[in-house]
Amino acid sequence: MKEQDSISGRREFLKTSGAMAAGVVTGFPAIISGQTVTNAIKVGLVGAGGRGTGAAAQALTADDYAELWAVADIDQSRIDASLATLAKQKIASQLKVDKANQYLGLDAYQKVIDSGVDIVILTTPPGFRPVHLAACIDANKHVFCEKPISTDAPGVRSVLATTEKARAKNLSLVSGFCWRYNDAIVDSFKHVHDGSIGHLVAYYANYFTTPVKPMPPESTRPAGMSDTEWQIRNWYNFVWLCGDSIVEQAVHSVDKVAWAMNDEPPVSCTAVGGREIPAEGGNIYDHFSVNYLYPNGFRAFVSNRQSVGCYNENADYIMGSEGACILVGARPPRVEGKNPWTWSGVKYDMYQREHDVLFASIRKHQPINNGKRMATSTLLAMMGRMAAYTGQQITWEQAMNSQESLVPEHLDWNGSLPVAPRAKPGVTKFS
């Protein structure tokens, strides 16, 4: 299940590619359009919030000949704000978004895909991701796909199928599980895998923070705003859109558990979870604690909480028979025990690395595909949610075959959309 990324310095490569004469296109994938004169790679952005704007800046920084060509969102003011922010960055000259290539609404993603772009950045709420990703690959687009990649198991299965299509088409698919592109964390997992801490015993990770995007009260809903729009504007508070906090945020910790286990699946998990702060019309929990069982008896414990006035920490403690590898926030990762080690080196922006790798893969025609592991890491977090919501032990096979479909098949921008009640352990049934 291990996937190889060719993490290579973009600058060395671009020195050569940038120097190429205008007419030289031999060796470039036929899939890149519009490069005949300018060598341009056209980028489409689907979801122009803070993360999407950040990702767009990184895409344009990754390749001197990348151009932002089209943008989709549900709100013109977000597109305006995003473009205004990008216009203040070094990459301002690479902004080529005509008014005609700014699209609004639930089908705007397809218009971006059809606008003649080469790469699509998917940074909407994750509930939309499986459909957006499938449309990109169908249309032969390379993709940067922000985490998580779905909010339900049918979506995970869809992404796994799309991943294989992308592979067959030699398209690059880079995921936003950013720690896999962080030099210090990459080095740390080398130590974990090379036996520096002996054989692995247990993994404890926490993600204790303040609330991310709290739900406003229903009384603040503007007159005439449909359920669909209201929920999308407050997407973090709805399971179908966000997947709940363990899938949307603590999935970073879960992804590192998967990394430690070489992306092999667990046997099963149990979990507790609930909500302390009133939900105000949303249906997500604000805390989870999941206990994963792996085939060799290895245990992984992942806890998250979004609260105020409580002890906060975001750390990973990977425990082995001869030591521990400890990853805490922005501090240098370290190994304690028999083979002590502390990471040192010059840091490189992991978000930038994601795009450097993506663009270099396209330029070199050496496609990268993170699809499988981004899908299985998302499912691993989702499995914890399923166990917490139902109060049952959930096996990997159950999770993978779950029939529970959370995302409405036909979404009407002006339509009504009842909110499912918040899950009750022992009452809510697994499906």
Partner 1 sequence: MRKIMSWVASGCLLAAASYAKKIDFRRDIAPVLEEHCVECHFPGTTSSGTQLKDRKELLAGGSVVPGKPNDSFFYNSMVDGWMPPAGKLVEVQLALIFDWIAQGAPWPEGIVLKRPEKKEQAAAAPSVELDNVRRIREIIVAKKTAAKGAYHVTIPNTTVAYDMTPIPAGEFLMGSSQKPDELPQHHVRVDAFWMQTHEVTWDEYHLFMFAEQANEKAGQDKTVDAISRPTHPYVEMSFGMGIEGFPAISMTQHGANKYAEWLSAKTGEFYRLPTEAEWEYACKAGGKPSAPLADTAWYAANSTGKYQKVETKKPNAFGLFDMLGNVSEWTLDQLAPYSAASQDNPWVAPKKAYPIAVRGGNWNDPPENVTCEVRLGSDASWKEQDPQLPKSIWYETDAPWLGFRLVRPVKLPSAEEMYRYWNNGVEHDEQ
Segment near partner 1 (CB under 8 A); pick from 7-15, 48-56, 260-268, 295-303: 48-56
Contact 354, 8 (CB under 8 A): no
CB of 334 to partner 1, least distance (A): 6
3-class DSSP assignment, residue 269: strand
- For residue 421, which of 284, 326, 220, 229 has the smallest C-alpha distance? 284
Count of Cβ atoms closer than 10 Å to residue 295 Cβ: 10
Give 3-state DSSP helix, strand, coil % of the chain, rounded to 5.
40, 20, 40
* 412 binds partner 1 per the rule CB under 8 A: no
* 64 binds partner 1 per the rule CB under 8 A: no
DSSP code per residue over 84-126:
HHHTTSGGGGGB---GGGEEESTTHHHHHHTTT-SEEEE-S-G
301 or 430: CB nearest partner 1? 301
49 or 425: CB nearest partner 1? 49
- For residue 337, which of 317, 319, 322 has the smallest C-alpha distance? 322
* 332 binds partner 1 per the rule CB under 8 A: yes
Contact 123, 46 (CB under 8 A): yes
Token pair recorded at residue 402:
């779950």
158 or 209: CB nearest partner 1? 209
Segment near partner 1 (CB under 8 A); pick from 12-20, 22-30, 325-333, 399-407: 325-333
Instruction: Please list, in sequence order, all residues whose beta carbon lies within 8 angstroms of the beta carbon of residue 401, skipping any fewer than 6 positions away.
Output: 153
* 330 binds partner 1 per the rule CB under 8 A: yes
* 342 binds partner 1 per the rule CB under 8 A: yes
Peptide bond into 29 cis (omega under 30): no
Positions 85 through 124 that interact with partner 1 (CB under 8 A): 85-86, 88-90, 104
Q: Which alpha helices (H) appear in 267-395, and where do they start and end?
A: 350-364, 371-390
Token pair recorded at residue 338:
């028999």
35 or 304: CB nearest partner 1? 304
237 or 361: CB nearest partner 1? 237
97 or 137: CB nearest partner 1? 97
Q: Which listed residue (23, 217, 297, 345) binds partner 1 by CB under 8 A?
A: 217
Token pair recorded at residue 355:
């795009």
CB of 249 to partner 1, least distance (A): 8
CB of 403 to partner 1, least distance (A): 33
3-class DSSP assignment, residue 221: coil
CB of 24 to partner 1, least distance (A): 31
* 280 binds partner 1 per the rule CB under 8 A: yes
* 345 binds partner 1 per the rule CB under 8 A: no
Measuring CA to CA, how many Å separate 24 from each of 19, 38, 359, 362? 10, 11, 18, 16
Segment near partner 1 (CB under 8 A); pick from 165-173, 208-216, 359-367, 415-423: 208-216
Segment near partner 1 (CB under 8 A); pick from 187-195, 310-318, 356-364, 399-407: 310-318
Positions 223 through 262 that interact with partner 1 (CB under 8 A): 223-225, 229
* 53 binds partner 1 per the rule CB under 8 A: yes
First to last CA, the chain: 27
* 337 binds partner 1 per the rule CB under 8 A: no
CB of 217 to partner 1, least distance (A): 8
DSSP code per residue over 47-76:
--SHHHHHHHHHHHHH-TTEEEEEEEES-H
* 267 binds partner 1 per the rule CB under 8 A: no
- Positions touching partner 1 (CB under 8 A) are 49-51, 53-54, 56-57, 75-77, 80-82, 85-86, 88-90, 104, 178, 208-212, 214-217, 219-225, 229, 277, 280, 307-309, 311-315, 328-332, 334, 342, 347, 349-351
